[in-house]
């Protein structure tokens, strides 16, 4: 019997290759599409980051413009429009600097939901909207960022306010209460609410600057500074202070000459808006009882030296009134504290804030004693004005007169005053600690004089304060009259605002 033969037919594979090709093409297309999408996403991320960074630095530029324009010495100062520092009680004073684009309106106090420049952050800090009746908004000041004809940063406004514990949400003095009434002050080493309990602390008001930047693509950033004016807080305990021993005073023989420690006792007009009201000081202060006795006996007209002593001549050991030890900005009892290389020494502070610095070209390292023969005259210094006092730092000897100056005069060598000279403010002779006045002029010094011998004639810093001397020769009425207003005005010549804190605010 013949066996059956069964033929099996394999399924046809026609078209499989096409399917594989289509699948591979789809896979490649998906990868390509992903790469395209990733590329677009990366570009979008880069663009967003770039715009966000531009907005950040635009807001930062607004903070810096406002900080610079707080200085009263600036011709474009914003504080010139203030009748007083920005108060927080009974109303909260607010100042805006606005920076609109051409044809644009920037109105931070318009809190309508359609206004993308509305200042809604104000309510977060103060608990009331900027439109509240307890808020006083001063007329807006326009940014000067485009004054040079260039396109300036695209911030829209900067708000300037005083600072309180409530607005800062920080209990500064740790009494368990967020004070909403008293402004925060700072003396450079401590912040405190300006209340009666802190009346003995010299300082200046802390301001908060808030800057909003909005770019054309609506990228937004809001930044804040807390700033305070650099405070020198110079502590000068007498009309004339000789911080070193032995101390020598060569007194004038003129019947018109006097040194008076009673505040505002001179004939020079006071700075605008200030009335001298500080307690009287000694006419002459020294740091050694034996020097007090020696100076008393050397004065030719002892009744012409008046002040806080109750008797004449008013010469007193003021060593206990000089800041000393740790926890104070400057130690007045050591050469290092007054004239050391550390940034906190008095001389370094004066140098860092000087309006004008004079030093010999061959001797660039200041403040250090200048070489012999390094001397200057009044033609080298900035005499300042009553409304714009100057800080002059002179590395070497200085001879001036007849001139009238305003501000702080710092001399490391010998200071010589000639003829009809006048100075309104502070004279600091720290280094060699010698000063002499000559001629029969009739000007006067209103403010205070401070001398300290911190260095040897070779320039080395002394281990302890050395001898100081001041003297007048000739007739005339060139006297010294303590004046707290001119002392304060001179220190305002610093006119710089330091940043206490910097932060970014979440702007919704």
Q: What is the mean pLDDT of residues 297-305?
A: 92
Q: How many CB atoms lie within 10 A of CB 39?
A: 10
- Which pLDDT does position 106 carry in this prediction? 94
Cα end-to-end distance, the chain, whole Å: 97
- Which pLDDT does position 4 carry in this prediction? 61
Cα-only R_g, the chain: 34
- Which pLDDT does position 365 carry in this prediction? 54
Q: What is the mean pLDDT of residues 389-409?
A: 92
- pLDDT tops 70 at residue 91: yes
- Which pLDDT does position 474 carry in this prediction? 67
Write out pLDDT tens, residues 460-490: 889 999 999 999 886 566 789 999 999 988 8
Q: Which of 468, 474, 454 is nearest to 285 (CA)?
A: 468
CA–CA distance, 193 with 177 (Å, rounded to integer): 11
- Which pLDDT does position 229 carry in this prediction? 82
- pLDDT tops 60 at residue 188: yes
Q: Which positions ≥6 away from 19 have C-beta within 8 Å?
A: none
- Which pLDDT does position 24 carry in this prediction? 84
Model confidence at 414, in pLDDT bands (50, 70, 90)?
very high
CA–CA distance, 454 with 432 (Å, rounded to integer): 7
- pLDDT tops 90 at residue 225: yes
Q: What is the mean pLDDT of residues 92-117?
A: 93
- Which pLDDT does position 367 carry in this prediction? 60
Whole-structure pTM value: 0.68
- pLDDT tops 90 at residue 194: no
Backbone angles phi, psi at 365, to 5 degrees: -90, 105
- pLDDT tops 80 at residue 74: no
State the chain's mean pLDDT as an integer. Answer: 86
Model confidence at 5, in pLDDT bands (50, 70, 90)?
low
CA contacts within 13 A on the Cβ side of 24:
6
**Cβ pair 482, 308 in contact under 8 A:** no
Q: Which helix (H) or strand (E) holds 39?
A: helix 16-69
Q: What is the mean pLDDT of residues 397-404?
A: 90
Q: How far is CA 19 from CA 14, 30, 382, in A?
A: 10, 16, 91
- Which pLDDT does position 196 carry in this prediction? 72
CA–CA distance, 43 with 298 (Å, rounded to integer): 84
- Which pLDDT does position 341 carry in this prediction? 84
DSSP string, 279-323: PP--SEEES-HHHHHHHHHH-SSGGGEESTTSSSS-EEE-GGGS-
CA–CA distance, 200 with 203 (Å, rounded to integer): 10
Q: What is the mean pLDDT of residues 446-455?
A: 96
Q: Which positions ≥6 away from 343 have C-beta within 8 Å?
A: 349, 352
- pLDDT tops 80 at residue 409: yes
Q: Pull the structure tokens for residue 428.
A: 């600091």
Greater model confidence, 495 or 112: 112
Q: What is the mean pLDDT of residues 38-60?
A: 77
Greater model confidence, 399 or 41: 399
- Which pLDDT does position 18 carry in this prediction? 78
Write out pLDDT tens, residues 119-178: 999 999 999 999 999 999 999 999 987 755 556 788 999 999 999 999 999 998 888 889
Which of 72-76, 163-167, 261-265, 275-279 bottoms out in mean pLDDT, i.e. has the lowest? Answer: 72-76
Which of 140-144, 205-209, 385-389 bottoms out in mean pLDDT, i.e. has the lowest? Answer: 385-389
Q: What is the mean pLDDT of residues 449-457?
A: 93
- Which pLDDT does position 280 carry in this prediction? 96
Most confident region among 107-116, 251-260, 365-374 by mean pLDDT: 107-116
Q: What is the mean pLDDT of residues 320-331?
A: 74
Q: What is the mean pLDDT of residues 399-423?
A: 91
Model confidence at 49, in pLDDT bands (50, 70, 90)?
confident
């Amino acid at each position: 019997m013949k066996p059956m033969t069964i033929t099996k037919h394999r399924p046809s594979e026609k078209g499989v290759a096409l399917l594989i090709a289509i699948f591979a093409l789809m896979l490649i297309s998906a990868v390509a599409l992903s790469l395209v999408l990733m590329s677009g996403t990366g570009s979008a991320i880069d663009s967003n980051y770039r715009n966000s960074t531009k907005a950040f630095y635009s807001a930062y530029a607004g903070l810096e413009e406002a900080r610079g324009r707080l200085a009263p010495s600036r011709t474009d100062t914003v504080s010139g429009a203030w009748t007083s520092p920005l108060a927080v009680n009974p109303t909260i004073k607010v100042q805006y600097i606005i920076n609109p684009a051409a044809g644009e309106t920037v109105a931070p106090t318009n809190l309508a939901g359609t206004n993308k420049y509305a200042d809604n952050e104000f309510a977060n800090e103060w608990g009331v909207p900027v439109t509240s009746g307890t808020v006083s908004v001063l007329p807006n000041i326009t940014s000067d960022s485009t004054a040079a004809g260039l396109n300036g940063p695209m911030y829209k406004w900067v708000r300037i306010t005083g600072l309180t514990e409530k607005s800062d949400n920080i209990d500064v003095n740790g009494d368990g209460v967020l004070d909403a009434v008293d402004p925060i002050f700072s003396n450079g080493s401590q912040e405190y609410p300006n209340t009666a309990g802190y009346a003995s602390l010299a300082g200046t008001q802390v301001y908060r600057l808030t800057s909003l930047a909005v770019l054309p693509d609506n990228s937004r950033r809001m930044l804040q500074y807390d700033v305070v004016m650099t405070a020198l807080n110079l502590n000068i305990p007498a009309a004339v202070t000789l911080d070193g021993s032995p101390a020598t005073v060569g007194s004038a023989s003129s019947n018109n000459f006097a040194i008076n420690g009673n505040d505002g006792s001179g004939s020079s007009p006071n700075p605008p808006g200030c009335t001298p009201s500080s307690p009287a000081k000694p006419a002459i202060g020294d740091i050694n009882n034996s020097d007090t006795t020696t100076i008393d006996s050397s004065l030719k007209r002892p009744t012409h030296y008046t002040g806080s002593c109750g008797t004449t001549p008013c010469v007193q050991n003021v060593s206990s009134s000089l800041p000393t030890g740790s926890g104070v900005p400057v130690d007045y009892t050591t050469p290092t504290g007054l004239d050391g290389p550390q940034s906190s020494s008095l001389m370094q502070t004066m140098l860092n804030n000087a309006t004008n610095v004079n030093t010999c070209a061959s001797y660039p390292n200041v403040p250090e004693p200048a070489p012999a023969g390094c001397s200057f005259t009044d033609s080298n210094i900035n005499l300042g004005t009553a409304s714009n006092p100057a800080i002059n730092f002179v590395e070497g000897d200085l001879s001036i007169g007849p001139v009238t100056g305003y501000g702080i005069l710092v001399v490391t060598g010998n200071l010589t005053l000639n003829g009809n000279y006048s100075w309104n403010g502070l004279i600091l002779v720290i280094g060699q600690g010698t000063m002499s006045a000559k001629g029969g002029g009739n000007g006067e010094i209103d403010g205070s004089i401070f001398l300290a011998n911190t260095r040897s004639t070779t320039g080395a810093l002394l281990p302890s304060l050395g001898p100081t001397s001041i003297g007048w020769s000739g007739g005339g009425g060139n006297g010294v009259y303590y004046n707290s207003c001119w002392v304060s005005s001179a220190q305002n010549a610093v006119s710089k605002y330091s940043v206490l804190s910097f932060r970014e605010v979440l702007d919704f």
